[in-house]
Chain A
């Protein structure tokens, strides 16, 4: 067997890791670049502000899909944020170190690993069939809230745990109740992390398709209430790709999705940096 000198081995290993790193970045650039180059030229005002007309050629635009996506995000967040924050507050501030807490934490972890389509199946059985919401934005939002819950709980809990306990003790020493400490000291201090977690959940809602495909149905019409079906942008890409010949429009819708995802990524970075510098200004107050 050939034995390389340590120096040569290191050169080869460096070559390998540089190659792997470059390949990964290149893959990202190729996918994003390809979708944007193919998709962006198709996008115009008419495409954005007209609704899909159905049919094999995929006529029409994506307006009703944009509206359905927005409805879905608002409804999902209205359910998810109070629930997720409440659970995170419990786990970070109240939970005693006992069996129940371990159980809850374990189920949050397990829930995070369950595939989207299994959530979809659950939502289909419970919200669509048993509760008679049929294929609707409400059924989709409830399912999606279940899916995103563990991610919000984890990020919010992490943010709250990072708040130094001296701050809590100071508030309590001043006579604040635990709840006052939570709402006026812990949550404001953890706000950058919580906000980032919420924005990432919005990103997850935009990108999600499998669980919505089986709970919101595929109706491309303009949603009129929470009980009307709808098609989010991501699900629309799926329909265009699988059931029409309009691959150019699928690419265009994909490009819209990628632009939204990149925007969300940038906003998260900006929000956490902005809030963090503001917080630092806040804590140095009076020094």
Chain B
């Protein structure tokens, strides 16, 4: 039998190895995606890929600007809808709702996190797209607008729950002080609680943005997937994520490499957004 000291020494090394796995995966992802991107970056040129508006793989045109714009427009539109809704929800759950009601509403809203993105996409296809087609009078309804609405619903629970946590983390003394000075409950929320939890709410919005940029299958199902700059919000478009999902199985050579460039842009975009979140988060802790 092995001595318990020996087991202790072995397991110490073992868990250290396991601890570094996350770091290694991150490095591997960066390296493999970069390696996959190099052929296209060399052959087509970085400027033509990043700023080209034409994506015709059969004609060797690999500009991803339209997809980049698609991702950004859909995400911004979704944020415009989701932020007031989520912050309102967070205030409702943390301050306004009676405990009996918030105890039912909170798990109900959190259930939205678990619902698979394909189910959101499916409901979007069946319910939302026909409605939007009816509204705009043209096309099938697969559009930037449909994608933004679906996305807003998908990031709602993320922003709500983190904002609620940060509202609840404000020391009750602050609120009591405001109330003691004769402020109404809403004045205390508006002038004390919200400013005190501002950084938490900004972090929540940033994490929601990251989630929105990365969403794939639901977007593929409702956005129409045309790799062109959308003329208006009722026109179809394509996201960076969708570009990869739709084409990678059939792609070879430079086409495949161009898709890796799409992934690389997505990776860098997410890294920037999340690092921003960490910086704000850290400032709060200091």
Contacts and interface: CB of A to CB of B under 8 A. Distances in A.
A122 B28 contact: yes
B269 to A, nearest CB: 9
Contacts of A6: 183-184, 186-187
Contacts of B213: 115
Given A24-B85, A27-B112, A115 B12 contact: no
Interface size band for B: 35 or more
Central interface residue in A108, A124, A178, by most chain B CB within 10 Å: A124
Interface in B220-252: 220-221, 241, 244-245, 248-249
A210 B117 CA distance: 9
B22 A241 contact: no
Interface string A55-96: 000000000000000000000000000110111011101110
B89 A20 contact: yes
Interface in A180-206: 180, 182, 203, 206
B241 A109 contact: no
B22 A111 contact: yes
A42 interface: no
Contacts of B111: 28, 32, 261-262, 265
B37 to A, nearest CB: 10
Contact of B32 (A16, A29, A122): A122
Central interface residue in B96, B97, B245, by most chain A CB within 10 Å: B245
A113 interface: yes
Interface stretch (A46-54, A146-154, A163-171, A279-287): A146-154
Interface stretch (B2-10, B53-61, B171-179): B2-10
25 contacts: A10-B185, A20-B88, A24-B89, A25-B108, A31-B112, A31-B120, A35-B119, A90-B15, A90-B19, A93-B15, A94-B16, A111-B25, A113-B210, A118-B214, A122-B29, A149-B21, A179-B12, A207-B114, A214-B249, A254-B116, A254-B122, A257-B118, A257-B119, A258-B115, A265-B111
